[in-house]
Amino acid sequence: MALELTDANFEELALKSDKPVIVDFWAVWCGPCRIVGPVVEEIGEEFAEKAVVGKLDVDHNPEIARKYGIRNIPTILFFKDGEVVDKQVGSVPKQVLVNKLESLM
């Protein structure tokens, strides 16, 4: 299950985590986001112990989206120790995301 991240809890849940973190920036009106969403949920379940997997609605949390310069959605950012280390824009197969996440472990 992916975490619901917001402007308020982003720092606490994502940046301060000692595990690798992936965050899916999405919006309800975006078709491709609805394709990526379930994939991210699946990854959240599979990597529940090893990583933090979260989703952030860019409409309701504009601050974080602006901070990371999110202009395309879906965008998935990969964090390690509070820093962005990788980025994936657009809908891609699950394996691409899994490979990127595993490379951070």
* DSSP class of 65: H
Q: Which is nearer to other proteins, 35 or 105 (CB)?
A: 35
Q: Is residue 30 annotated as part of the catalytic site, yes or no?
A: yes
Q: Which is nearer to other proteins, 82 or 90 (CB)?
A: 90
Rounded to the nearest whole angstrom, what is the least distance from the CB of residue 89 to other proteins in the complex? 6
Please give the distance of CA 11 from its chain centroid, rounded to a whole number.
13
What's the angle, vertex CA 33, arms to CA 90 and CA 24, rounded to 5?
75
DSSP string, 19-61: S-EEEEEE-TT-HHHHHHHHHHHHHHHHTTTT-EEEEEETTT-
Q: Given the rule CB under 8 A, which residues bind other proteins?
A: 27, 29-33, 71-74, 89-91
Q: Which is nearer to other proteins, 30 or 43 (CB)?
A: 30
Rounded to the nearest whole angstrom, what is the least distance from the CB of residue 66 to other proteins in the complex? 11
Give catalytic residue positions: 30, 33
